Amino acid sequence: MTAKTYPASLPGKADHIPVLRAVSIKSLARSLGFSACGIAKADAVEESIARRYRRWLENGEEASMSYMANYLEKRLDPRLLVPGVRSIVSLALNYAPSQLLPKGEYQFAAYALGKDYHDLMKERMRQLAGKIKELHPLLPFLPRKEAHATFPPSQQGSLPIRRQAMPASSAEDPSQTSRPCTASSSPAPQREPRWGCFCDTAPVLERYWAQKAGLGWVGRNHQLIIPHAGSMFFLGEIFLPFEVDVYDESMPDRCGKCHRCVDACPTRAIVPGEDFHASRCLSYQLIENRGELSEEAKAAMGDTIYGCDRCQTACPWNRFATPSTEPELQPKPELLSMSKEKWHRLTVEEYRRLFKGSAVKRAKFDGLKRNIQAKEQ
């Protein structure tokens, strides 16, 4: 990973805008268990990517996820989302499964086997933000005794189809509320620099910024692929109101001529040379779609009743994946003990108990029952 060096402070503003060492932030991220950390300079999204995303929306590829068109200008320029942002810290947390559901039983996408990743990521990012704050209290910039970092409320948030997610962005759903991420409960002074702490909770092109921060590249399967590690990672960002001394270089595409993910996609959602077809994606059909499953999805789902990992398991880079040892990401014993017979008898009460604190709640009880009942046809 190459890096770009910037001055220790902005010309004429050395007394007001602190600059931190990128290596210190990355060291803190590693100490908290993050698998990868990179830092990009906050700027408008590259015009070619912005045009592609606008075209994707114009073609209606977001399907029923109309919220992906919300806050478009902020999505394409993080400086509008969090005024004063200067650096974007991109973080990845490994979720490659160490234990799968029993063969022959109904299956779930790997990201959904354990605790809801939103809670896990945001908790850990808050810890990291607090530690970054300790590196530089911003005292020259803030009124005395008011030096605390404040994270503004999100611009309403997103849940991707495949975690990491949808083509050019994570999806955000206005029905999902997000608490302000704060290091202090006292009111923020007017001049206080603003921070942002996001994991599918704001209009942020997460994979784009992860690539800009040098974590990996967005592959043909529209997932961020980290070299010699694979694509099974949760992504999150911390928006910082100050510069760092060294910014990472964007990583080039390393998929080459490989098209295994294209061949593995059961619903032709991934087509070379075309934008991602969300409405065809099995993950979209089994999670985001609130109506009837498409006939193509019914024919392709196999034993899967939530999500889809086929484009990821087909990717050669995932042979390097290391199973996650995070206790919170391991499947509950109750989930491991579920049989097809039990799934078909699933009640609302059992659903709530089984998936308390789980991302599976995204599909809701009716959606999961619809998927299960499709196996009876």
Q: Select which of 77, 116, 173, 200 is catalytic.
A: 200
Residue 200 annotated in active site: yes
Terminal C-alpha separation, the chain: 51
Contacts of 328 (CB under 8 A, 6+ apart): 114, 115, 120
**Look-up: residue for tokens 């029952």?**
369
At 130, which amino acid appears?
G
Beta bridge partners of 233: 94
Structure tokens at 159: 């849940």
Peptide bond into 285 cis (omega under 30): no
Residue that is written with structure tokens 């698998």 in the block:
35
> Rounded to the nearest 10 degrees, what angle do helices 22-31 and 117-135 cross at?
140
CB 56 within 8 A of CB 63: no
Nearest residue to 86 via CA among 140, 42, 23: 42
CA gap 189, 187 in Å, rounded:
6
The CA radius of gyration of the chain, in Å to the nearest whole number, is 21
Active site residues: 200
